[in-house]
């Protein structure tokens, strides 16, 4: 669903709520307290006098709403605006800034910022399997982000840059993560944690860390040039390079600058979308499903990461 379809499908709050209930409880609403499937839908008036849809458990009498215990809970924003924000985020290939979201859905920058982070959190994969495996070729490379404007001088500029390690399966998933520097101590733990040891081939540049970490019979070093070798193998790291370049264009075009503290969550948002680039029509539903499964991210927890 794109933004226009989302706006049409969820023209009213009740329509959005019905869709959310279906997403959260595909087999029917169950009590959040005792998991009993027998619940009554009731309508009350909230504190502000607005109509409030609740459920009452027939067993334990618990009152809960469709958003209780989810990311939407305690949000003053209507679901229709949440849905529009999700559509905007899953649709924009290079990412979208909180400022743009604020303008589109009509809310304050602060609200949009919080909203975007919560959606971004839901888009990140927590227990993704390792990259690679039998028959899969993985490309690994590093890149540098930003830095130019922070200080003066080449050395200082390089110090201010953020280093990102990227791994990409050819025709598959990606993994991007900030690293302290390009030394073995920074790169090795990520390879150990994220690269399947049964991967068919691993293509990297001639960085010494890779030579020590990856078994020579699986390792291909490349000079970044893409060519078809006589044995049928394509050299180069074009897959990961194109992910890097799309991400960088996103920074320039959408975010302008992004906080160093949050860059990993931007990277995982980007990977999430990049890995599903061929599933565009389903992205909205996929994101909504993730939101249904995630624990709420409080403002306190979010800002704790900064201060």
- Which residue ranges make up the site for Zn ion (CB under 5 A)? 31, 33-34, 36, 57, 59-60, 62
CB of 296 to Zn ion, least distance (A): 21
Find the angle CA(216)-CA(220)-CA(224) to the nearest 5 degrees. 150
Nearer to Zn ion, 19 or 64 (CB): 64
CB of 28 to Zn ion, least distance (A): 14
CB of 58 to Zn ion, least distance (A): 8
Residue 51 to residue 142: CA distance in whole angstroms:
53
Nearer to Zn ion, 63 or 94 (CB): 63
Which of 266, 274, 226 is closest to 246 using CA atoms?
274
For the chain, the C-alpha Rg in angstroms (whole number) is: 23
Nearer to Zn ion, 56 or 264 (CB): 56
CB of 51 to Zn ion, least distance (A): 23
**Tokens representing residue 146 in the block:** 């930003």
Which of 202, 167, 144 is closest to 275 using CA atoms?
167
Bridge partners of residue 63, in order along the sequence: 56
Nearer to Zn ion, 7 or 62 (CB): 62
CB of 68 to Zn ion, least distance (A): 12
Residue 193 to residue 34: CA distance in whole angstroms:
38
| Phi, psi of 232, deg, nearest 5 | 90, 0
Nearer to Zn ion, 36 or 99 (CB): 36
């Amino acid at each position: 669903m794109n933004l226009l379809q989302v706006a049409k499908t969820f023209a009213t709050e009740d329509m959005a709520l019905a869709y959310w209930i279906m997403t959260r409880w595909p087999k029917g609403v169950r009590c959040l307290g005792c998991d009993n499937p027998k619940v009554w839908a009731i309508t009350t008036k909230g504190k502000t006098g607005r109509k409030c849809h609740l459920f009452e458990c027939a067993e334990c009498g618990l009152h809960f709403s469709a958003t209780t215990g989810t990311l939407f809970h305690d949000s003053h924003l209507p679901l229709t605006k949440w849905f529009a924000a999700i559509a905007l985020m899953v649709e924009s290939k290079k990412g979208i800034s909180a400022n743009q979201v604020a303008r589109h859905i009509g809310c304050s920058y602060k609200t949009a910022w919080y909203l975007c982070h919560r959606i971004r959190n839901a888009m990140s994969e927590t227990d993704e399997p390792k990259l690679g495996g039998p028959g899969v070729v993985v490309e690994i490379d590093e890149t540098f982000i930003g830095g130019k404007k922070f200080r003066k001088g080449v050395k200082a500029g390089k110090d201010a840059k953020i280093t990102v390690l990227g791994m990409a399966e050819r025709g598959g998933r990606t993994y991007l993560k900030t690293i302290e520097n390009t030394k073995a101590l920074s790169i090795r733990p990520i390879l150990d944690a994220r690269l399947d040891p049964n991967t068919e081939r691993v293509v990297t540049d001639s960085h010494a860390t890779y030579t020590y970490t990856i078994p020579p019979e699986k390792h291909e070093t490349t000079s970044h040039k893409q060519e078809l070798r006589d044995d049928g193998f394509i050299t180069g790291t074009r897959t990961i390079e194109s992910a890097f370049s799309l991400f960088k264009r996103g920074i320039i075009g959408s975010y302008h600058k992004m906080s160093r503290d949050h860059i990993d969550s931007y990277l995982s948002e980007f990977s999430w979308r990049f890995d599903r680039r061929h599933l565009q029509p389903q992205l909205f539903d996929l994101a909504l499903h993730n939101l249904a499964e995630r624990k709420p991210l409080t403002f306190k927890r979010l800002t704790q990461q900064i201060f």
